[in-house]
Every structure is written in C-alpha cells, then in structure tokens.
Amino acid sequence: MKEQKPLDILRHSAAHIMAAAVKELFPLTKVAIGPSIENGFYYDFDKIEPFTLDDLIKIEEKMKKIIKEDSTFVCLSMPKDEVIKKFQDEGEKYKIEIASQIDEDSLSIYKTGNFTDLCRGPHIASTGQLKYFKLLSVAGAYWKGDSSREQLQRIYGTAFFTKKDLDNYLSKVEEAQRRDHRKLGKDLDLFSVSDIVGSGLILWHHKGVILRDIIENYFKKFHFENGYELLSTPHIASEELFKVSGHLQTYSDSMYASMEVEGKPYRVKPMNCPMHLMIYKTKLHSYKELPIRYAELGTVYRFEKSGVLHGLLRVRGFTQDDGHVIVTPEQLEKEMLEVFNLAIKCLKTFGFNEYKVYIATRPKTKYVGRVEDWERAQSSIENALKKTGYDYEIDEGGGAFYGPKIDIKIRDSIDRLWQCSTIQFDFNLPERFDIYYIDSLGKRARPYMIHRALMGSLERFIGILLEHYIGALPIWLSPIQVAIININESQYEYCSYLLRKLISKGIRVIFDSRNEKIGYKIRESTMQKIPYIAVVGNKEMDTDKISVRARGNKNLGIMGIDDFVSLIKNSF
C-alpha cells in the first residue's frame, strides 16, 4: 500500500471527525466514504433533507467540541462477519456494501469517541491534533460515481497543520471565486447555458464568438506557418468508422446513442483522429513526405455526467485544437521536440509562462504494442524533453493503453495548475487503420502517430483565460478593444466618423450612443473591462481629437486619432 503523507493523514482524520459531528447532529444520516483529496477532504452522506450553509456552521462547531475532547483514534481488527453485523445493527448500508466487497477475513475499523468507521487508516493519534480546518461547500454525488445509484450529499472541507497555511488557502479559494469564469462569462456577455438547450452545451453570444474567432484565427495562422495541413471533418460518422478505430468497443460509455441514417447507424463523433486517418489513406505516401502534420478545430461530443459539468471547464460539446502527426520511427524524437516547443510557444503567446511537465509511461497491464516499441517511444520522448531544458517528472504507468505521452500543466496568476497541452504517442490506430508509407527500399512500412492538443479545447482554454486575467483580457484578445462615448447628441456624427475610421484600421470598436449620463456609460464600459474608452465632447470634436481612458482608471489625456491607433497597435 502506498505510504500516506502526514497532511493526507490529517485530512482523512478530519473527514472522520466531520462524519462523527454529522452523526451526532443528524442521527438518521447514513455515512458513505470520506477520503483526503488534493486540497482537503470530503465525506459523502445519505440524508433526506439537503445540508444548508447554516448546517455547515453547526457541523464545524460540533467538530470543535469533538476536537476539544481529544478522543483517541483506536484501530480495531475484527472478523469480517462481525463488522458486517455491526453495521447492519446500525443501519449503515453503505458500510455493509463496502465491507462485503473486501476479500479479507479480518477488517480494520477505527473508533473515536462514539463514532466508528470502516477504515484502513492510518489516522492522527487523537482528535485534538486537528486544529486548523474549514468546511467549504456541499455538492451532489452519486454512490460510487454511478448515476443509477443513490444520490448523496458531499461536504467538502480542508485542513492544514498551521493557521498561516489555512489562511493562505482560504484566501486563494476566495480569490478563485472572484475569478469564476461562469460569473465573468455572464457579466461580460460572452456565453450562457440553457436547460432547454441541454446541460454542458454552450451558447456563445456575440462577444464570445468574437473571442473564439480571434483564437481560431491565431490557431490557423500558427499551424499553417509551422507546416500543418488544415482539415475539416463532419460532426457525425458511420458507426463503422468507430468500430475500426475501437472507440465503439472501448469508449462507448462516453459516446452518445446511435441515430439511423438510411438504415445505417451513425454517431456524433467523440474524436477527430479516425477521420484524419481516413484522409491520410486517400493517397499513397512516400517516406520523403513524412512527417505529415494535420490540424483541425474539430467539435466533438462526449457524455459527461451532470454532476461533473462545470461552465466551460467540463462540457458535453467542445472544440479541440486537434493535431495528428504521422512520422517514421526515426523522426519520432525530433518531432516530439518540435511539438513540445510549439506547445510552449503557443502557451506563452496567451501569457502562460510557468509549467509542470510530465512523461506518462506504459501501464503495468492492458496496453497495446510491443514492449520494445514502448521503450523506444518513451526514450525518444525523454531525450526530446532533455533538449528543452525544462524539468519534468515521470508519471509511472500513467500513459494511455495505446502509448506514452507528455502532459503540460500551466500555472496561472494565482498559482493554480491547469492541464492544457497533451502530446500523445499512439501504437494503436496506425495498426487498426492499416496505414503505411513506402520506405527507402520501396516497401510498405508502418508509421508512428502523434496526437497533440496545444490548448486542449477552446471552451476550457477560454474558461482558464477568463480566470487567469479576471476577465481583463490582453488587448489583442479583447472582443471589444475600444468604446466610443459621446457626451451629448451634438457629437453623434463625429463619433460615427470615428467608429468607421477605427474599424477601417482593424480595431474592434463600439459606439455607445445611448441617451445616458456620461458617467453611467463610462462605468458600464469599465465593468465590461474594455481596454480603452474614447470620450468625445465638443472640445474633442472641434479639434479632431479624443479623450482617452485606459483600463485600470488611467487617464491618458487628449490625443489625435492616428496617435490613438498607434497606441492600440503597439499594445498587441
């Protein structure tokens, strides 16, 4: 069993103390599981009435009393049938189910005060060692993650060894809530979600479409300049395609139900790669042509349970910045290096400059391909990364069944890590689709294949960008770069002229001509986080100038239109 870290032990113990408090306050509640997690702990409960925020306060107070009692955590080993009988007597059906499925004659339970839990441990010595904790939120959760099973309530909390660490974490949580992309998306009128349309399906508003368009144009130009062929493939395909790829056999739980088209079953696509390989197969390829690099902004659809959907970060329909590279075995290391450098260049363009890099290696079981091919691929990946100068960690056994990969996590402005770029080697699809090239001896040879996504998906990446910049996107990404505001109707014609001129210079601009007070219009543009506000009164109109305010309440004074255009262009 993997050795637990002290902080994990503290947090797991906090979950037990929380469960003990819940049972004292709400005796009819059934307890399920309560592990430590990356930033804290949770416990799942079966309670008829929903927990309220007031309940969380009561639970915290009860936990403090249990902590003050300084009860010892006592580990007891009992025969399995006695453990099951004990939980039957207590009516704890989830504990009975867990105990029944453990293939051991003797099970361990932990007792502290009046609360006993089925648990392998370890725990802190006594409840008094938990000093700095906080309950954070309540969410829904299915028992064992199965939507056909009982709906439970999950209480999240966190715990630390010092007050300083707890305060720092809570400050980050508060800051993260302030940056929540769902609120920013609504405030900035970028996107929305409708239950009538369907959960996890994003409705992009006008400004959101502009933002997407900016990123899409960057993607296309960036890839074209770096030797990629741009593709476009359908949203649906015959089931036969996904049988060949193996997705129908291994990925069907994440695919939507089939539809009938002229008597044939079709599916909305969960992946773009099978169609890219069909394009590769339309003609014969020589080794001299390789590597062949394909790229597509392809929208795919995958089933996600409603409980995990989260704004733009977890959706059911999303657009991948997808790429597939077909290489000879000899080209693999060089191309992995090229793709990695492309990913870093792309991420830096959007303002992300700190990363954590991982190599995920061959799983212990359930993998395709020969071990020697895995070792060659993993060696090529590691050799490529060594040349970049970036530190990396080995994620032992973390590769997909079809090949090793590089994962790049970006660090945002409040020190959170986000998984974005993935560079994935694939032994599987070249075999399944029987793709080949003609080698230097005139014989058929099997190429290697690299899947890669630099941003991940547009939806998720935009969500990350909004939280990273708190909605105040860099000027080149801002859907609206300038708001022209007139003081009264007498400047209407001049402002209309300004609007046309700035548009002709390629600047994204709006004219707020509403009959509202100037202060109100300025506040609205400020709240919309528009980088520049051009205020026009009679003095500006008479001198063919504008009064410029920059984001952050900076008054840049009066300037000529050409100087203003240069200011904007130089800000890109």
Structure tokens at 205: 């508003």
- 367 in a structural domain: yes
Q: What angle do CA 540, 545, 549 make, to 5 degrees?
A: 85
Residues 310 and 431 both lie in one domain = yes
Residues 210 and 350 both lie in one domain = yes
Distances (CA, A) of 71 to 101, 124, 127, 128, 130: 30, 11, 5, 7, 11
Provide the CATH number for the domain around residue 44.
3.30.980.10
Q: Which helix (H) or strand (E) holds 76?
A: strand 74-79
**Phi/psi at 260 (5° precision):** -100, 130
Structure tokens at 431: 């075999």
Structure tokens at 510: 């709006």
Per-residue pLDDT, 3: 57
Residues 520 and 375 both lie in one domain = no
In angstroms, the CA 321 to CA 336 distance is 17
Strands 132-142 and 115-118: unpaired
Taking each helix axis from N to C terminus, what angle separates 53-69 and 6-25, rounded to the nearest 10 degrees? 110
Structure tokens at 529: 């986080």
- 248 in a structural domain: no
133, 163, 178 - which closes a domain: 178
Which of 111, 134, 125 shows the shortest CA–CA distance to 64? Answer: 134
Strand partners, 236: 268
- 476 in a structural domain: no
In angstroms, the CA 491 to CA 515 distance is 12
Domain that holds residue 128: 6-178
Which of 455, 139, 425, 505 shows the shortest CA–CA distance to 308? Answer: 139
Taking each helix axis from N to C terminus, what angle separates 80-90 and 93-100, rounded to the nearest 10 degrees? 160
Q: 10 Å Cβ neighbour count for 148?
A: 7
Q: 10 Å Cβ neighbour count for 312?
A: 25
Q: 10 Å Cβ neighbour count for 161?
A: 14
Residues 302 and 374 both lie in one domain = yes
Per-residue pLDDT, 23: 94
**Which residues does the annotation mark as catalytic?**
273, 302, 320, 322, 324, 405, 451
- 477 in a structural domain: no
Residues 170 and 206 both lie in one domain = no
Residues 174 and 193 both lie in one domain = no
Note the helical H segments in 307-400.
332-349, 371-388
- 257 in a structural domain: no
**How many separate domains does the chain show?**
3
Residues 202 and 106 both lie in one domain = no
Residues 425 and 300 both lie in one domain = yes
Residues 217 and 357 both lie in one domain = yes
Residues 287 and 332 both lie in one domain = yes
In angstroms, the CA 550 to CA 534 distance is 9
10-residue stretch averages of pLDDT, the chain, 572 residues long: 78 95 95 91 94 94 95 91 91 92 89 89 92 93 82 94 94 90 95 93 96 96 95 94 87 86 92 94 95 95 83 92 93 90 94 91 78 82 88 84 87 87 88 93 94 92 95 96 94 93 95 92 94 94 92 90 90 76
Q: How many CA atoms lie within 13 A of 505 on its CB side?
A: 19
Residues 566 and 423 both lie in one domain = no
Provide the CATH number for the domain around residue 195.
3.30.930.10
Report the amino acid identity of residue 210. Answer: I
Q: How many helices (H) and strands (E) does the chain have?
A: 18, 28
178, 213, 242 - which closes a domain: 178
Contact 161, 140 (CB under 8 A): no
- 314 in a structural domain: yes
Reduced to 3 states, what is the DSSP secondary structure of residue 74? Answer: strand
Q: What angle do CA 307, 59, 73 make, to 5 degrees?
A: 100
Cβ contacts of 344 within 8 Å, gap of 6 or more:
355, 388, 390, 408
Residues 172 and 189 both lie in one domain = no
Provide the CATH number for the domain around residue 561.
3.40.50.800
469, 497, 518 - which closes a domain: 469
Q: 10 Å Cβ neighbour count for 89?
A: 8
Per-residue pLDDT, 532: 96
Which of 523, 543, 483 shows the shortest CA–CA distance to 507? Answer: 483
- 239 in a structural domain: no
- 255 in a structural domain: no
